[in-house]
Amino acid sequence: MAPNFKIAILSMALLCAGANGQAPPEKKAELKIEKFQSTSYGFEVTVSVKNIGTARLVLGESGEAKGTLQSLDVQQWDDKLGWQSVGPCRDVPSASTVRLNPGESLENIVRIGDRSHGWTGVCPRKIEHLGGKVRAILYYAFASELDFEKRNPKGRVDFVSAPVELPANASK
C-alpha cells in the first residue's frame, strides 16, 4: 500500500473517531456533586447541572418526578472495570423535557446503592459495595425539542463532574 494512501486512511479514521461523542463548543454543562445524604440503601447524591455553553440545552425528564433528569447518573470507579453505574435504572425513555438556558442551573437527587445495603433493581449492576471515588455523568443533552424527539445521536455528550470520595458512613 502506498504511504500516501495509508496516511489518508489514517487521517480519515482519526477525523471520524475524534468527532464521536464530543459536544460542540456551544453545548456545555458543568456537573458538580454538592452533597451526600446517608440512607438505608446507600446515599442520596445531590448533583448540580449548570449550562455553561452558549446554547439552550434540552434534557430528557424522567417519569420519576418533575424536573428529574433521565440521563443523569452517578458512577463509581472500579480498578478492574472502570466507571460503573451505581444509580437507578433509567431504561424507560423519557417523554418530556427540561430546558436549561445558558447560565441556568438545576439540582437533582440521584439515589445510589449496593446489594449489601438492600439495593435492588431490574438493571444488573457490577458494583458489590459502595466506596471510593464517584462522579456524576449526564449522558444526553439535545440542541432542540426535535433532536430530543428523534433521539439524535449528536445528543450524546457524556458531561462528567470531577470525581469525589464517597463518605464512609452509609447506613448499615
In a domain, 5, yes or no: no
Q: Where are the beta strands (DSSP E) in 54-94?
A: 57-61, 72-78, 82-85
Per residue in 111-151, pLDDT tens? 998 877 777 765 767 777 889 999 999 999 999 999 999 99
pLDDT attached to residue 100: 96
Full residue range of the structural domain in which residue 156 is found: 25-165
Are the C-beta atoms of 81 and 126 separated by less than 8 Å? Answer: yes
**Residue 154 pLDDT exceeds 80:** yes
Residue 7 has pLDDT above 60, yes or no: no
C-alpha cell at 30: 458543568
The alpha-helical segments, DSSP class H, found in 20-169 are 145-150
Quick: pLDDT tens for 42-95: 899 999 999 999 999 999 998 777 888 999 999 999 999 999 988 888 777 888
Cell 440521563 identifies what position?
Answer: 71
Q: Output the domain CATH number for residue 55.
A: 2.60.40
